[in-house]
Amino acid sequence: MAVTWSYHRARRHEEIMAILQKENGIKLYQELMEIFFGIIGHSPYRAN
pLDDT in tens, 24-45: 888 888 999 899 888 887 788 7
What's the rounded Cα separation, in Å, for the pair 46 and 21?
15
Contacts of 36 (CB under 8 A, 6+ apart): 20
Contact 16/43 with Cβ under 8 angstroms? no
Provide the whole-model pTM: 0.71
Compute CA distances 41 → 7, 8, 48, whole Å: 27, 24, 11
pLDDT of residue 2: 85
* Arithmetic mean of pLDDT over the chain: 87
